[in-house]
Amino acid sequence: MSDGDTVVAEIDDVEADVRLFGINAPEADECHHRDARQRLVALVDGQTVEVDQRGIDQFGRVLAYLWIDATEVNRELVESGLAIATTPNDDNVDGAHLIDAEQAAFDAGLGLWSPSACGGSGGLPSIVVDVDGSQFDAPGPDESALEAEWVIFRSETSVDLSGWTLRDESSLHRCRLGEDHRVTPQLPLQIGSNDSCWDPGGSPVWNNAGDLVLLLDTYGRVVARARYRG
């Protein structure tokens, strides 16, 4: 296995790549990637698992919840703070338990949610996502109105955000903030989906049905977090 949310399992005597459904573990260049992978290996390697299949993704991988006796592997990774939950939609009607597990891990400051995650030190500035002021669903076709999709941050102090990262719950969208990105008590920071910081750019970022907003400092620590539902 290459990361913390994909395994190779034998299903009906055929080997298949299985993508753990409803979660997203850190990518190879993100902190806790190795921890998530090692935790997944420790849980499933050599074990007989129950594969609760939920479909096939665009890469041909089986989407599934994995169970070892009474332990749900997907939830175990989220509860440990080594993966985030993805917002449930019509294909994941029973995914709310993973959202609850993520909130519990966040409240406990585990893994990704620790103030000392990624080797960071020192206090975290008080920056919040202004969910009500943000616009996650642009009027009309999202692809044609990237400038009308934005997120707003507010802060009690002035903070230079150069070198920080804004991301969603997917493994795809990352905005690398530059020298022109700063938030102050008097001047909130608004970042549109048309901002040149996005990699890849040129496409909508925020899911209309719901998503997770994460603002990471230069270490990779989560400074601001907000989950919204459409």
Q: Check residue 1 and give its pLDDT.
A: 60
Single residue among 113, 146, 163 that ends a domain in this structure:
113
Residue 98 to residue 78: CA distance in whole angstroms: 7
Residue 74 lies in a domain: yes
221 and 124 within one domain: yes
Task: Give the side-chain half-sphere CA count within 13 A for 229.
Answer: 6
In this prediction the pTM is 0.92
Single residue among 95, 113, 131 that ends a domain in this structure:
113
- Residue 22: which of 167, 168, 169 has the closest Cα? 169
190 and 173 within one domain: yes
Residue 1 lies in a domain: no
What is the side-by-side order of every strand in the sheet holding 222-229?
Answer: 198-199, 174-176, 165-167, 210-216, 222-229
150 and 105 within one domain: no
Q: Check residue 85 and give its pLDDT.
A: 96
Task: Give the side-chain half-sphere CA count within 13 A for 221.
Answer: 19
Q: Check residue 105 and give its pLDDT.
A: 98
For the chain, how many structural domains are there in total?
Answer: 2
Q: 16 lies in which domain range?
A: 6-113
Residue 59 lies in a domain: yes
| Mean pLDDT in consecutive groups of 10 residues from the start of the chain, 230 residues | 86 92 94 95 94 93 96 97 91 85 97 94 94 96 94 97 97 94 97 95 94 97 95
Single residue among 87, 113, 139 that ends a domain in this structure:
113
Contacts of 197 (CB under 8 A, 6+ apart): 166, 175, 176, 177, 178, 181, 191
75 and 37 within one domain: yes
Q: Check residue 12 and give its pLDDT.
A: 87
Q: Check residue 198 and give its pLDDT.
A: 96
183 and 96 within one domain: no
